[in-house]
Chain A
Amino acid sequence: EAGVTQFPSHSVIEKGQTVTLRCDPISGHDNLYWYRRVMGKEIKFLLHFVKESKQDESGMPNNRFLAERTGGTYSTLKVQPAELEDSGVYFCASSQTRGTDTQYFGPGTRLTVL
């Protein structure tokens, strides 16, 4: 069974540009989460989808971040326009039916904003 995959693995962009990160969860997992770790700090929660619905987006830093999960399968996280402080590693995780099920993580996307 394939694990959680993320694309790209690394992205380098200029300040003000747009970047879209993609996450493919484990097949059959209803719950999909986005987290990020900025340099030297803890991994922080961004948002949680249950199927195609946003269950909790309390961790989204501002309106420059837009997450979607059309059809309840893969998810995208768009940053527009990117700022220097957005640099970090963005992780996606998925879990099965219940929200308290174990979350399985993808390898992360390292975003560098210059």
Chain B
Amino acid sequence: AQTVTQSQPEMSVQEAETVTLSCTYDTSENNYYLFWYKQPPSRQMILVIRQEAYKQQNATENRFSVNFQKAAKSFSLKISDSQLGDTAMYFCAFMGQNNAGNMLTFGGGTRLMVKP
């Protein structure tokens, strides 16, 4: 079974600074997908970024980028130029390609507070 671990329950960062959220996972599969989701205080969970394991290039979406280290099974999220609207719970998630159900396995989440 796959597991996802987010070792930082809470983090804070000053507005305009950079913060990195960590995520590690365990799997025996070679092909899979990794995701970062964000859940602001209003509760709607939205996709931040997605990475296919077969792609060596790290995914980037504007101020959000990942550092995907497949051998180390690490998938950290870097938020550059942090904004107050980035305050949210961030969830790292894994989806196996061989998994018939295509379920997401989530980490416990990291609560990020961006301070003015």
Residues of A in contact with B (beta carbons under 8 Å apart)? 3, 31, 33, 35, 41-45, 48, 55-56, 58-59, 89, 91, 93, 95, 99-100, 102-108
Contacts and interface: CB of A to CB of B under 8 A. Distances in A.
21 contacts: A35-B104, A41-B108, A42-B107, A43-B104, A43-B106, A45-B103, A48-B101, A48-B102, A48-B103, A55-B100, A89-B43, A91-B45, A99-B100, A99-B101, A100-B95, A102-B35, A104-B47, A105-B45, A105-B46, A107-B42, A108-B43
A93 B100 CA distance: 17
Interface residues of B, number: 24
If over half of A's interface residues share one DSSP class (helix, strand or loop), that class is named, otherwise mixed; here it is strand
A100 B106 CA distance: 15
B50 A56 contact: no
Contacts, number: 58
B76 interface: no
Contacts of B103: 33, 45, 48, 56, 59
Contacts of A43: 91, 104, 106, 109
A54 to B, nearest CB: 10
Given A91-B45, A104-B47, A99 B37 contact: no
Nearest to A99: B102
